[in-house]
Amino acid sequence: MVTSATFDKADFTPDVLICVDQSGTIDRVISATDSDYQSVKQTAISQDILQVIPEGNYILPGFTDLHIHAPQWPQAGFALDKPLYEWLNTYTFPLESKFKDLEFAEKVYRSLVKELLANGTTTGLFFGSIHTNANLILAKVCAQFGQRAFIGKVAMDNPDQTPDYYRDDSSKEALAETEKFINQIFELQKQTGAELTPVITPRFVPSCTDETLAGLGKLAKKYDLPIQSHCSESIWEDQYAIDRFHKRDAEVLDQYGLLTDKAVMAHGTQLTDSDLDLFSQKQTAIAHCPISNVYFGNSVMRVNDAHQKNVKVGMGTDISGGFSPSIYRNMQQAIMSSQTLKDSGNDQARISAANAFYLATIGGANALHIQTGQIKPGYKADLQIVQDQYFDISSNQPQEIFERLVYHTNKENIKQVYVSGKLVHNNLGEDYGK
């Protein structure tokens, strides 16, 4: 078993029993050195409920992805050599506008959610499109496949920064449709029992009018909901807020009640020390999207600086500004990018595999206020069983195993995934465990 203990440390514990209760919560974690290990194991065997993990396989917490643009999945890896503004207007907005076709939406969302689960992502924070009905389909697909989902209807009504074929017709419509979607998700929760949460979602400051930003802040307060957006993603976005409001991007969001302890702001590559202080004060989280930031961020997000200021940070793929749905791939890029930032003069920038693993598990869970991301009693049994593909030829010291899992795990190595104790992905071959 491998689970994050602190920002700087991952715990590796061999030979444990993870006991999961009927609600999908971890009841006990029993080590082989505990006095009742053998008796509990024997009871599980006699009741035929013991699942044995083969040698060279490890149980890890499921991952939380804090930033996914669900309707962008069909263009993952496309046109990433273009500037952000051009990428949005030439490629992304035309694609997202297609989601008024609900059959197309369902086809895409079924593919996306299955892919995320196969990559060990048990919780997703999703941007939908502007289409309320398509977003509801995304929620239903997540419920069907068993993924815990936080989903937002995107609000974007500023005619200066959004195309006429893809925007809310007015601020009134943006706010009304957002509230309609909130209530639809609440109803779907009751019908299915699925772990679904509506999220207030201004696309970002440039895409919204003042009236919409203010109204969304009020809706977040009225329903006590999470908020997601982008903040200081790039030099262009950062400067836009200054030109329009004569304030920093973070200050604008705060002005409209959109920086709260339930808010998650993506990217943050251009955040200043004063911005990070504001995030810390408001207890707002950052979704670190290292692959996407290489293409569109114009810099590397300062993970260690944010952590030192007690800012919550988790990991995001940013499909499709990030081409990979794998949090493993993003952990790897986060570590590499931090070395680049260190080489450019920030001596404290380097992060470790343990740091990246913390962001992918505890960091994301803390950002969304969910009791998951760790393998310990009282936490949801969000688990992935991962096969170490180099187990028979490499060092089997705990630290080496852990780092190998971070750097080498791919989708094929993830054998099973559980959300709240329920099997949601199964990739066991016929010879598995033999």
Using alpha carbons, list the distances in angstroms from residue 305 to 68, 300, 302: 24, 12, 5
User: pLDDT, tens digit, for every residue of 127-160?
Assistant: 999 999 999 999 999 999 999 999 999 999 999 9
Its CATH architecture, for the domain 63-368, is Alpha-Beta Barrel (3.20)
| pLDDT confidence of residue 96 | 97
Tell whether pTM > 0.75.
yes
* CA–CA distance, 121 with 61 (Å, rounded to integer): 9
Structural tokens at position 215: 């109204």
Q: Vertex 352, ends 347 and 358: CA angle to 5°?
A: 125
Domain ranges across the chain? 2-61+376-426, 63-368
User: pLDDT, tens digit, for every residue of 181-194?
Assistant: 999 999 999 999 99
* CA–CA distance, 199 with 185 (Å, rounded to integer): 10
| pLDDT confidence of residue 85 | 85
| pLDDT confidence of residue 84 | 86
Cβ neighbours of 393 (radius 10 Å): 6
The ranges of the chain with pLDDT < 70 are 430-434
CATH number of the domain at 2-61+376-426, out of 2.30.40.10, 2.40.33.20, 3.50.50.60, 3.40.50.720?
2.30.40.10
Residues 6+ apart with CB under 8 A from 272: 248
Q: Are strands 196-198 and 154-155 parallel, antiparallel or unpaired?
A: unpaired
274 within 8 A of 281, measured Cβ to Cβ: no
Cβ neighbours of 310 (radius 10 Å): 12
| pLDDT confidence of residue 431 | 53
Where do the DSSP E strands lie in 313-368?
A: 313-315
Cβ neighbours of 117 (radius 10 Å): 24
Which of 145, 235, 127 is CA-nearest to residue 181? 127
The span from the first CA to the last CA of the chain, in angstroms, equals 20
